[in-house]
Chain A
Amino acid sequence: MIELLNALLVIVLVLNLFALGNSRILSVIRIVAVQGALLGVIPLLVHERITTPALIAAVAAIGLKGIAIPAIMIRSLRAAEIKREVEPLVGLLPSIILGALATAVVLLFSRKLGAASEAASNMIIPASISTVLVGFILLITRFKALSQVLGYLVLENGIFIFGMLLIEAIPLVVEMGLLLDLFVGIFVISIITNHINQAFSSMDTRELVSLKE
């Protein structure tokens, strides 16, 4: 079990780097969807035996993060008629290297954090912190509204991994609430981006900072 868990977490880290290095928003959506679906499997692996709450959490996470949210985002991507992030603040290669550096630093220093020893797998904490950092990098360096949503999703994935540490402590209701919030958030953002697109003909968040009179 723990081998599989470690392998999954490492694949999540690799997907982070792929998400950073891809300029096509559609591909990034797919990568984040795969990442979300993989994360959905983790609750089943953390437990010794499969319980009903874990099963519900897994199914809900896979259904929402792997299928529903990507479907909504692909719809709004089609409506917005944009294909790629043309000019990120930091280029693609530098942002891959930045993400890898963040991952490496987190891997090196996660031992210093006290909680790491008690976890089911010593990969959970570094994987979650570095996924959060990669989410931040995506959020900061991309300007298209949809890319920023993807950054937010990666960030949430990181938080989801961290939640695996507390899976015994967090009741199912809280987790379901989190997923619902996420879903509603993405839903609203997708609708808003459609409206932005119709009203302003640009999805660049830099041009959304000034008010029109």
Chain B
Amino acid sequence: MIDTVVHLLLLLLLPPLLLGVINKTKALFAGRVGAPFLQSYYDLWKLFRKGMVFSSATTWIFRAGPLVTFAAVLMAGLLVPLGPFDAPVAFAGDLILFAYLFGLARFFTTAAALDTGSAFEGMGAAREVTFSCLSEPALFFGFLVLAKQYGSLSLTGMLHGPAGGMPASVVAPIVLVAIGLFIVMLAETCRIPVDDPNTHLELTMIHEVMVLDHSGPLLGTVLYSASIRLFVLGSVLLHLVAPFQFGDPLLDWLAFVAELLALSVAIGVIESIMARLRMRRVPYLLTGALLLCGSGFILLVR
């Protein structure tokens, strides 16, 4: 019961901090002081107090987009076990629900973007959908490896793995899947090798371009959902790269939060040392992720 409450609290409160940590890391690399860690919270608070402006061309879809996205990623967050604790919601086959909650979020984001009637936003929607064609199979191949390995079709079962640590034969496919899922995570959360969350150049934008017309609380919801998405996918990845558990609940929660912050630092480092890929190259990277997860599966079943 307490674990469920902590799960909910972390899911709701922690995500903007991750963005703060990423930005701070980038600032340190650039030799700046950077915005405070809590800047994302201030931004959200500011946005939620503002009024909204709606174009007369938009319909209810435009308004529903951010809300459905938020609900979908929040639901996905309830399906994922955090650290060594079980997820609040778990049933056989919930990995498919998990993947398609992200699909639903994407559908409504792109539909809202198309609803504005702006050619610019339509372009972003087209890019988003194109790249997701490659990242979704990679996600499924990764899940397939885990499900096959641990014989469970629920996220809680397949991410926790066996009690006594991983056997040697699993390590190779798990490493492949972890690298593949890391790339998928960067693509889904629109981080640097795929998309740059800071730019507003039409040549390079994917996600930012789709939310240009949102304002006030709706924009806040979009930003908040994006950070929750990072939190959820990051905690999936953490099961693969850091499957530690101490046995003591408090210690385990602290370790989980520390791992998540470390992951954010890693993302910040990658954003600092890498340049954004050219738009033409993004499919190469995602195909690479797909091939890595696929090879992981081959390695497992051979």
Contact = CB atoms under 8 A, between A and B. Distances in A.
Nearest to B166: A3
Contacts of B179: 14
A21 interface: yes
B287 A103 contact: no
Interface stretch (A55-63, A82-90, A91-99, A148-156): A91-99
A11 B288 contact: no
A99 B240 CA distance: 25
B175 A11 contact: yes
Interface residues of B, number: 20
Contacts of A79: none
A7 B294 contact: no
A14 B292 contact: yes
B302 interface: yes
B302 A7 contact: no
Interface string B169-192: 101110110010000000000000
A104 B301 CA distance: 11
A100 B132 CA distance: 21
Interface in A1-52: 2-3, 6-7, 9-11, 13-14, 17-18, 21
Specify the main secondary structure of chain A where it touches its partner: helix
A77 interface: no
Contacts of A17: 288, 291-292
Interface in A98-112: 100, 103-104, 107-108, 110-111
B298 interface: yes
B250 interface: no
B284 interface: yes
A145 B176 CA distance: 31
Interface in B119-173: 166, 168-169, 171-173
A100 B296 CA distance: 11
Contacts of B288: 17-18, 21, 96
Nearest to A122: B169
A21 B193 CA distance: 14
A107 B287 CA distance: 19
6 contacts: A7-B171, A13-B295, A17-B292, A21-B288, A107-B302, A123-B172
Interface of A: 2-3, 6-7, 9-11, 13-14, 17-18, 21, 92-93, 96-97, 100, 103-104, 107-108, 110-111, 122-123
